[in-house]
Amino acid sequence: MVQVVALRDGTFRASCPSLPGCFVHAASQCEVEIRIQQAICGYLDHLDIALPRELAKCCYQERKDRKAARAARPIDRRPAQANPG
């Protein structure tokens, strides 16, 4: 279960009460939902237990999506500019 709360400053906070310390903040509800999913998968990746098949499949897909997103980013091949001294 995930809890999403709108804060007074207009940002959002999401937490997973069943995973102690697993919470995130973001500027939008959509962004906070994405971040909490990533946080949950990262949390579960570091546990030394076998995950149920459906949960493991969900986290595997999340890692695959993140890897694809990183690969799709353009690489800046311009040489670094020296700082004028």
Report the DSSP beta bridge partners of residue 6: 12
Rounded Cα gap, residues 3 and 5, in angstroms: 7
Which distant-in-sequence residues (6+ apart) come within 8 Å of 55 by Cβ? 44
pLDDT tens-place values along the chain, 85 residues long: 889 999 999 999 999 888 889 999 999 999 999 999 889 888 888 887 776 676 666 666 666 665 665 566 555 555 555 565 5
Rounded Cα gap, residues 85 and 71, in angstroms: 36
Label each residue of 35-80 as H, E or C.
HHHHHHHHHHHCCCCCCCHHHHHHHHHHHHHHHHHHHHCCCCCCCC
Amino acid at 27: A
Domains of the chain (ranges, CATH numbers): 3-72 (3.30.160)
